[in-house]
Amino acid sequence: MVQYDALIIGGGPAGLSCALSLLKHGIRPRIIERRPNRANIQKATGVAQGVWYQLAEFGITEKLIGDAFPMRQFVFHDNDRLVAHLHVPPVNGSAPAHLVPQHRLELALEQALADQGVHVDYGCRFESLESKADKAFVTVRINEAETEVIEASWVIAADGGHSDVRTFLGMQFLGHDYPEQWSVAEIRTNLWPAEVQAQLFLQSNGVGLFLSQPSHGTVQGILNARHVSARLKERFPDAVIDYERDFKVSLRRVETSRSGRVWFIGDAAHVQSPVGGQGLNLAIWDGVTLGAALARNDLSVEHRLNKRAKAVLRFTDFDYWMLCTKSPVIRHARNLYWSLAQRFPVMAGWFFRLISGVW
Ligand SMILES: Cc1cc2nc3c(=O)[nH]c(=O)nc-3n(C[C@H](O)[C@H](O)[C@H](O)COP(=O)(O)OP(=O)(O)OC[C@H]3O[C@@H](n4cnc5c(N)ncnc54)[C@H](O)[C@@H]3O)c2cc1C
């Protein structure tokens, strides 16, 4: 049986960044992924400044940031009335986030691993594990055929919001589901205003449309209701729909990121509304932070992972309620705040500092 210091389950952003971080600190991990190949499913579009700093150690920032769009202008409407067209205040002298498609980022992370001889084991699915005092034995199924038992000192569950590892261990995923059915779509259009990176269209009935431009000619729309593509077609008559799908949104987290020899990172450890743009960023922060700490045998990282997750979830929940509120009083206060922030961008400094992840 081959032994590893670390076995990572899940080849998404959390797993890939943890693998890079472990490698950087001298630990060669094994990384398995259930899918047969890298799926081209578009999810996140915003990468925070703090994450760009972390990814710089692996040469990723240098490769990607030149083609990413710095978050400089943000437009906010309520019932189709312009509330604010904001020039986003810089954080530490630069944009709080840059837009880049998640798929492109994942490919860059995977390539950086491959350059160092670590390849994602595709078609390899976690099935079960047995934890001992100083190691774990993980059974995986390969190509839905034979099984293999892998011995590892640490197991890192980075297997997403529906984590099989979390379910197998019977860990609670504390929190709640938000009530609405959400939808996301991506379109091609020539009508996006080039100088703007994100637009928000809110309504008094609590339905909000969030738009961003992850790459030239492509717009992603997220709606806290079904049929986002119909809304996109209203706004962009030339829209060609690339895809549309529905999804549920929850606010949940594991009570603590470690259970014996197993660590939980990324969506396996916490899920939240996509509107705060924090899921991918927290997944990468978790991965890089855990990798560096395990290499130093610094188990106090458990506390730091928990603390950050709690803070980020509080922020995204606040964002969710600001987006979905039907209360005329809160809407009025929210709109007043953003129209003042347009005139005095420094007022929005705390918000964009949180978005930047540098705290
Ligand atoms: C519409 C949408 C928009 C979003 N926008 C943003 C945004 O703008 N900014 C932002 O920061 N975040 C955003 N997010 C959230 C972000 O996409 C996720 O938080 C991020 O993908 C989490 O990464 P992860 O690696 O933890 O999990 P995932 O990306 O889900 O990766 C987990 C991997 O584990 C694999 N896996 C699952 N089970 C097993 C198993 N049994 N064995 C082996 N492998 C397994 C899966 O196949 C998958 O590849 C958005 C999400 C959505 C849905």
Cα(227)–Cα(183) distance, integer angstroms: 6
Which segment of 38-52, 268-282, 305-319 scores lowest on mean pLDDT? 38-52
Average pLDDT on 14-25 reads 98
Going by pLDDT thresholds of 50, 70 and 90, the confidence category of residue 276 is: confident
Residues 33 and 8 in one domain: yes
- Domain span at residue 301 reads 1-42+102-173+254-325
Take residue 299 and report the two structure tokens written for it.
């188990």
Residues 203 and 266 in one domain: no
Going by pLDDT thresholds of 50, 70 and 90, the confidence category of residue 275 is: confident
Going by pLDDT thresholds of 50, 70 and 90, the confidence category of residue 157 is: very high
CA of 12 to the centre of ligand 1 (A): 6
Residues 241 and 123 in one domain: no
Residues 130 and 229 in one domain: no
Query: Above pLDDT 70, what percent of the chain?
Result: 100
Q: For residues 108 and 63, is the Cβ–Cβ distance under 8 A?
A: yes
Residues 259 and 137 in one domain: yes
Average pLDDT on 246-263 reads 97
Q: Does residue 184 lie within any of the structural domains?
A: yes
Inform me whether the pLDDT recorded for 192 exceeds 80.
Answer: yes
Ligand 1 binding residues, C-beta < 6 A: 9-15, 32-35, 43-46, 102, 125-126, 158-160, 164, 184, 222, 247, 266-267, 274, 277-281, 283
Residues 233 and 110 in one domain: no
Q: What is the pLDDT of residue 269?
A: 98
Return the CA Rg of the chain: 21
Q: What is the CATH number of the domain that holds 227?
A: 3.30.70
Q: Which atom of ligand 1 is nearest to the CA of 32?
A: 43
Q: Count structural domains, the chain.
A: 2
| Angle between helices 328-343 and 301-324 in degrees, nearest 10 | 110
Inform me whether the pLDDT recorded for 298 exceeds 90.
Answer: yes
**Ligand 1 binding pocket mutation candidate from 20, 43, 141 (most atoms within 8 A of CB):** 43
Inform me whether the pLDDT recorded for 42 exceeds 80.
Answer: no
Closest residue CA from atom 13 of ligand 1: 44
Q: Does residue 93 lie within any of the structural domains?
A: no
CA of 345 to the centre of ligand 1 (A): 32
Ordered strands of the 208-215 beta sheet: 81-87, 73-78, 198-202, 208-215, 218-223, 174-188, 240-253, 270-271
Q: What is the pLDDT of residue 359?
A: 81
